[in-house]
């Protein structure tokens, strides 16, 4: 993807400058690994600080990531504390977390859209909607091994939609009788005309048969670029919200989702490579090890 992971701290100087007890084991470097699909892991990012900051038992309070420019485009050190950047912290951290899940769970292979039936639910009551949806999701997680990421969206005319991804193996899918063909999102099967050679652009649109909310569509995605397509799909709907949360959440997720592996070590800041990022009195170098 060519993105650089920028560390941000909730209270950077408090965490970095406070006295460290002898029981705290701190490291200068953290390397992120993704599963390679055959039981192994491969490195994707390395962050090296100019002082020890990582505590494996408390790293989530010390380290935060923001997705910024491609490191190749960073000619000068980036100061993430400069005006106009800091407000992106929470939103980009959520985007990065979703991307990590996508890269670590290739079985998340199906686009989903859930729309609330206004005759069955109060589509403007997020609490009621999430209550019923949450029960259904939890049931599928326990019984079917469902894994999912869902992004809530508040429609311009009122009411909520949910866009997301899940593993098709855990869903009860039925053919809707419609097809997605190139730029056409829903063409009735008996009205579909596919020129010779364009068969690969036809995708079956399914419905989730037992969804309690009302209406649904599901499209399976496969191929070499599947995970990239899915990440763009998720980011699109997260971005549509303008960086705002719905009921305090950017996204919902559940199931046995595999997370990245983080490996800590002590490395020399001066001898390491990568784009330089500054925050107040500290600095780090961010290196992309394998482009996604």
Q: pLDDT tens digit string along 200-236? A: 889 999 999 988 888 899 999 876 667 777 777 777 7
Per-residue pLDDT band at 61 (split at 50, 70, 90)? very low
Give a yes or no: residue 101 inside a domain: no
Once rounded to an integer, what is the mean pLDDT over residues 106-125?
87
- Do residues 246 and 268 both lie within one domain? no
Asked if 164 and 112 count as a contact pair (C-beta separation under 8 A), the reply is yes
Residues 67, 100, 130, 214, CA torsion sign: positive
Q: What is the tens place of the pLDDT at every residue in 154-202?
A: 877 777 889 999 999 999 999 999 999 888 888 899 898 989 998 888 9
What pLDDT, on a 0 to 100 scale, did the predictor assign at position 70? 35
User: What residues make up the domain containing 276?
Assistant: 4-96+259-288
Half-sphere exposure at residue 185, Cβ-oriented, CA atoms within 13 angstroms: 4
Query: What is the percent of the chain with per-residue pLDDT over 90, rounded to a whole number?
Result: 35
Give a yes or no: residue 159 inside a domain: yes
Give a yes or no: residue 50 inside a domain: yes
- Do residues 17 and 150 both lie within one domain? no
- Do residues 155 and 246 both lie within one domain? yes
Give a yes or no: residue 82 inside a domain: yes
Residues 17, 22, 25, 28, CA torsion sign: positive
Give a yes or no: residue 60 inside a domain: yes
- Do residues 58 and 144 both lie within one domain? no
Residue 27 DSSP symbol: B
User: Among residues 89, 69, 234, which one has the least CA distance to residue 166?
Assistant: 234
Give a yes or no: residue 105 inside a domain: no
Q: Which residue has the higher pLDDT, 221 or 77?
A: 221
Give a yes or no: residue 221 inside a domain: yes
Structural domains in the chain (count) = 2
pTM of the model: 0.77
- Do residues 16 and 37 both lie within one domain? yes
Give me 146's structure tokens. Answer: 């469902």
139-148, 163-172, 245-254, 259-268: range with lowest mean pLDDT? 245-254
What pLDDT, on a 0 to 100 scale, did the predictor assign at position 65? 36
Residue spans of beta strands (DSSP E) within the chain: 4-7, 29-35, 41-49, 65-68, 78-79, 110-116, 148-154, 160-166, 173-181, 184-188, 202-208, 214-220, 252-254, 261-265, 275-279, 282-288
- Do residues 144 and 227 both lie within one domain? yes
- Do residues 120 and 80 both lie within one domain? no
- Do residues 146 and 23 both lie within one domain? no
How does the average pLDDT of the chain come out, rounded? 78
What pLDDT, on a 0 to 100 scale, did the predictor assign at position 270? 92
- Do residues 90 and 126 both lie within one domain? no
What pLDDT, on a 0 to 100 scale, did the predictor assign at position 144? 95
What pLDDT, on a 0 to 100 scale, did the predictor assign at position 45? 92
- Do residues 89 and 145 both lie within one domain? no
Give the DSSP per-residue string, 212-229: SSEEEEEEE--STTHHHH
68-77, 94-103, 272-281: range with lowest mean pLDDT? 68-77
- Do residues 277 and 189 both lie within one domain? no
Asked if 218 and 205 count as a contact pair (C-beta separation under 8 A), the reply is yes
- Do residues 133 and 250 both lie within one domain? yes
Give a yes or no: residue 102 inside a domain: no
């Amino acid at each position: 993807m060519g993105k650089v992971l920028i560390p941000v701290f909730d209270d950077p100087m408090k965490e970095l400058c406070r006295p460290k007890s002898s029981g705290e084991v701190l490291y200068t470097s953290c390397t992120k690994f993704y599963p390679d699909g055959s039981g192994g892991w491969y490195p994707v990012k390395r962050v090296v600080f100019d002082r020890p900051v990582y505590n494996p038992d408390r790293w989530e309070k010390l380290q935060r990531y923001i997705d910024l420019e491609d490191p190749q485009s960073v000619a000068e050190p980036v100061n993430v504390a400069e005006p106009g950047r800091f407000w992106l912290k929470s939103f980009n951290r959520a985007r990065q977390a979703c991307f990590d899940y996508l890269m670590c769970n290739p079985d998340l292979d199906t686009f989903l859209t859930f729309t609330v039936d206004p005759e069955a639910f109060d589509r403007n009551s997020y609490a009621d909607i999430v209550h019923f949806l949450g029960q259904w999701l939890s049931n599928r997680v326990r019984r079917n091994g469902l894994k999912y990421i869902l992004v809530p969206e508040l429609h311009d005319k009122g009411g909520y939609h949910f866009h997301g991804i899940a593993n098709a193996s855990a869903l009860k899918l039925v053919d809707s009788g419609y097809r997605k063909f190139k730029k056409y999102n829903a063409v009735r099967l008996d009205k579909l005309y596919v020129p010779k050679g364009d068969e690969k652009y036809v995708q079956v649109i399914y419905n989730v048969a037992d969804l309690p909310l009302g209406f649904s569509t599901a499209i399976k995605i496969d191929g070499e670029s599947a995970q990239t397509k899915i990440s763009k799909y998720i980011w699109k709907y997260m971005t549509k919200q303008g960086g705002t949360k719905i009921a305090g959440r950017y996204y919902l997720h559940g199931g046995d989702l595999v997370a990245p592996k983080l490996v800590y070590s002590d490395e020399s800041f001066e001898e390491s490579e990568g784009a330089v990022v500054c925050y107040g009195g500290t600095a780090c170098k961010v290196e992309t090890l394998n482009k996604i």
